[in-house]
Chain A
């Protein structure tokens, strides 16, 4: 019984982190139809930036709150720049969706190998966010896992607030629904594209930072995250934020149970099996629409 509770809590914890990261990918796809292949590299970037500011490079840490603030700002502007220089110029062309995948794939390889060149092949560890553990439902859970889940869930709640209660967020939704209509009422679509892209970079990079104490920082870790976020997004329905949240929790749970019963090597295979099943039964995903 205890073991099952532990597995469920682990599933919830990773599910909420996945949800936060997949939501960003789904949002960008829904708004601007960009499939960002460098998504995983921004995850890794979050981890490396956190490592730098938490004492990895200079030997003295500036503490978590300051690191969060700096890393989030940095990721936001890097995301903006990426959108402006690597994606926006392509939009005028007819086959731009494919070109955008190419250019972000190039960026991903560039960044990953840059991390390797700058920081070396060894994994970096960073200090845990919270020490200690708590007792939930008769089992002991590391405080860190609880903190990851709590922070990720509050970020998702914040994102919901942004999308539904602020002017900028409503502009994002308007562009996603009808680009021409949004432009007619005076929404600058380029701006919306740029800040949704930047927001997604922040979400995934923040995820990388939160999970860094748990999984360590390595230059190739991003690919796994890219594939998982992709599976979740496709499962939930490309472009659907709520679908991505549901899918993340379902897959986080499935992953936890598969890892417990069959071993960790099977998780990716099972995820793909689920994905293929979904494609056969309901190709648009849980909450998505074709198109």
Chain B
């Protein structure tokens, strides 16, 4: 497979194909609100899982704080629209910006740490968010305590207010936001940042000695990821209309993780495929009642052990053990170029060029 020669890379093709397919679905399903609801959730979870995968699977930052960021975005937008009367559209933006701020703030100490330590600190954020939102400080900023937020206004355009009676407008707004969010991921992993991440993950000492400053990239990616995760949270809040700390329950956390594992971690757009499969499977398993999460938990173990490369790994026909996510074959400008100047510069240019390619 040579991506450089084909006009549209395969991952973008899959991404556009899926969203193109989604875009025509309301023509058949607009009379089926249950199905439309599931599709809207698929697209929201695709954003959250996709951006989580960007930071975890590509940037290699083992963060467990993405659900917390999602909830922060949701609460921020909810509180601002209810208490301060700002437009829900601005609320979406504000949710994203506030989430990005929190994300960057967390990333600064986190990125100095290693693997499991980052997981600990970000999971700690997840764990203390619930008592915070329910507690005195949370109530003071308007989180509604244990009750949560009840009347989050829906989106509206001009005189038209979106409602749960007609899900088609919701569907297209979600589709737009979701597609844009995932397209950003595509752009990032195909930029030199994406290659820098792969370089750092494959061999950190080599990448560092080649002058790759992954810290800065990672902080920015943390911000971008948090922005879109928060935006998705805000969209979720306005769409559902009510919000409580139940979203912080570990079942959603697990579900989002399953999406990444099923789709293939670090294999864009695996998380999107995972979101589709897992959201539908979740609906299908509702009949299993209390055993639903037991089955999901066991499924995660089985998938991780048996097919750790996920569906995207299978689509990309990855063979063999120990093969990490693959890098796109792109000809890129060198990331590091140092030219020694001085006496001999005219005769012999001593040039260090590093281009990173993953076979």
**A227 touching B127 in the complex, CB below 8 Å, given contacts A85-B305, A109-B296, A110-B294:** yes
**A94 touching B324 in the complex, CB below 8 Å, given contacts A105-B254, A113-B290:** yes
Interface membership of B207, Cβ < 8 A:
no
Residue of A nearest to B295 (CB): A110
Size of chain B's interface in residues, with CB distance under 8 A? 44
Interface membership of B128, Cβ < 8 A:
yes
**A283 touching B254 in the complex, CB below 8 Å, given contacts A85-B305, A102-B304, A103-B300:** no
Could you list 6 A-B pairs, sorted by A, with CB under 8 Å?
A: A95-B265, A103-B300, A106-B257, A109-B250, A110-B294, A269-B128
Interface membership of B117, Cβ < 8 A:
yes
Interface membership of B193, Cβ < 8 A:
no
Docked pose: A265 CA to B323 CA in angstroms? 45
Interface membership of B291, Cβ < 8 A:
yes
Docked pose: A272 CA to B127 CA in angstroms? 11
**A92 touching B116 in the complex, CB below 8 Å, given contacts A110-B294, A269-B128:** no
List of B residues within 8 angstroms of A279 by Cβ: 109, 112-113, 117, 121
List of B residues within 8 angstroms of A102 by Cβ: 257, 261, 300, 304
Q: Is the CB–CB distance between B304 and A99 below 8 Å?
A: yes
Q: How far is the CB of B266 from chain A (nearest CB, A)?
A: 8
Q: Is the CB–CB distance between B321 and A93 below 8 Å?
A: yes
- Which has the most chain A C-beta neighbours within 10 Å: B265, B290, B324? B290
Interface membership of A142, Cβ < 8 A:
no
Residue of B nearest to A285 (CB): B117
Interface membership of A78, Cβ < 8 A:
no
Q: How far is the CB of A265 from chain B (nearest CB, A)?
A: 7
List of B residues within 8 angstroms of A90 by Cβ: 304-305, 308
List of A residues within 8 angstroms of B62 by Cβ: 98, 101
List of A residues within 8 angstroms of B123 by Cβ: 227
Q: How far is the CB of A229 from chain B (nearest CB, A)?
A: 11
**A223 touching B300 in the complex, CB below 8 Å, given contacts A90-B305, A98-B265, A117-B291:** no
Q: Which of A234-267 contact B (CB under 8 A)?
A: 234, 238, 265
Q: Is the CB–CB distance between B120 and A234 below 8 Å?
A: yes
> How many A residues are at the interface, by size bracket?
35 or more
Docked pose: A35 CA to B64 CA in angstroms? 14
List of A residues within 8 angstroms of B297 by Cβ: 106-113
Docked pose: A276 CA to B124 CA in angstroms? 10
Q: Is the CB–CB distance between B322 and A231 below 8 Å?
A: no
Q: Is the CB–CB distance between A110 and B124 below 8 Å?
A: no
Q: How far is the CB of B43 from chain A (nearest CB, A)?
A: 24
Interface membership of B251, Cβ < 8 A:
yes
Interface string of A94-138 (1 = CB under 8 A from B): 110111011101111111111011000000000000000000000
- Beyond the given pairs A113-B292, A117-B291, 8 more chain A to chain B contacts, judged by CB atoms under 8 angstroms and listed by A's residue number, are A86-B305, A93-B308, A99-B304, A106-B299, A106-B301, A111-B297, A112-B297, A275-B120
Tell me if B's interface is mostly helix, strand, loop or mixed. helix
Q: Is the CB–CB distance between A103 and B120 below 8 Å?
A: no
List of A residues within 8 angstroms of B308 by Cβ: 90, 93, 99
Interface membership of A29, Cβ < 8 A:
yes
**A89 touching B321 in the complex, CB below 8 Å, given contacts A98-B62, A113-B290:** no
Q: Is the CB–CB distance between A230 and B135 below 8 Å?
A: no
List of A residues within 8 angstroms of B85 by Cβ: none
Q: How far is the CB of A89 from chain B (nearest CB, A)?
A: 5
Q: Which of B104-138 contact A (CB under 8 A)?
A: 109, 112-117, 119-121, 123-124, 127-128, 131, 135
Q: How far is the CB of B343 from chain A (nearest CB, A)?
A: 42
Residue of B nearest to A266 (CB): B131
Residue of A nearest to B301 (CB): A106
Interface membership of A187, Cβ < 8 A:
no
Q: Is the CB–CB distance between B254 and A268 below 8 Å?
A: no
Residue of B nearest to A85 (CB): B305
Docked pose: A29 CA to B116 CA in angstroms? 10
Q: Is the CB–CB distance between A103 and B115 below 8 Å?
A: no
Residue of A nearest to B258 (CB): A106
Q: Is the CB–CB distance between A283 and B119 below 8 Å?
A: no
Docked pose: A100 CA to B169 CA in angstroms? 42
Interface membership of B293, Cβ < 8 A:
yes
Interface membership of A280, Cβ < 8 A:
yes
List of B residues within 8 angstroms of A35 by Cβ: 115-116, 119
List of A residues within 8 angstroms of B257 by Cβ: 102, 105-106
Q: Is the CB–CB distance between B114 and A290 below 8 Å?
A: yes
Interface membership of B298, Cβ < 8 A:
yes
Residue of B nearest to A117 (CB): B290
| 8 Å CB contact of B120 from A93, A106, A110, A230 | A230
List of A residues within 8 angstroms of B322 by Cβ: 92-94
Docked pose: A114 CA to B254 CA in angstroms? 15
Q: How far is the CB of B254 from chain A (nearest CB, A)?
A: 5
